[in-house]
């Protein structure tokens, strides 16, 4: 998880799956602008383009942006979007005023577009 979010306090909890299998949940919160920029800088241009093209289905009414990071590539030090069961679930709260899904979507689009432009410039 640190390969994806950097250094952060990790909270560990245990639960049980539907069939009684043990599940260990790791949770971390990053809040600073630098940490958030660092997280998104780990994504490649292709993944940012996927996020941009699917923003409307990834942001909920609580202004949360949801994505899944492939756990195997994260283990190897890379952050890529994943679509399997073996993922790190990420929820990014988009601060908007007023707190509305449409405004949050516009802000996320603006932010991700600037990240993509920075990658293209490199």
DSSP 45-75: HHHHHHHHHTHHHHB-TTSEEEEEEEHHHHH
**22-33 mean pLDDT:** 90
Is residue 68 helix, strand or coil? Answer: strand
Domains (range + CATH), the chain: 30-121 (3.30.1440.10)
DSSP state, residue 7: S
Q: Is the pLDDT of residue 92 over 90?
A: yes
Q: Cα torsion at 110, 48, 41, 59 (round to 10°)? A: 60
Query: 87: closest CA among 72, 76, 100?
Result: 72
122 pLDDT tier (thresholds 50, 70, 90): low
Cβ neighbours for 103, distance < 8 A, ≥ 6 positions apart? 63, 96, 97
| pLDDT at residue 77, as a whole number | 82
Cβ-contact 23, 15 below 8 angstroms? yes
- Average pLDDT over all residues of the chain: 91
Query: 89: closest CA among 107, 64, 113?
Result: 64
**5-20 mean pLDDT:** 91
DSSP state, residue 98: S
Q: Tokens 């009414």 — which residue?
A: 61
């Amino acid at each position: 998880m640190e390969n994806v979010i950097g250094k952060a306090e990790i909270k560990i909890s245990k639960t049980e799956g539907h069939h009684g299998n043990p599940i260990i949940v790791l949770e971390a919160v990053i809040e600073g602008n630098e940490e958030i920029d660092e997280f998104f800088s780990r994504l490649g241009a292709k993944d940012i383009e996927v996020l941009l093209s699917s923003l409307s289905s990834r942001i909920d009414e609580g202004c949360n942006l949801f994505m899944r990071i492939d756990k195997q590539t994260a283990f190897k030090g890379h952050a890529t979007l994943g679509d399997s069961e073996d993922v790190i679930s990420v929820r990014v709260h988009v601060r908007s005023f007023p707190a509305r899904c449409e405004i949050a979507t516009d802000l996320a689009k603006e932010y991700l577009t600037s990240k993509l432009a920075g990658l293209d410039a490199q």
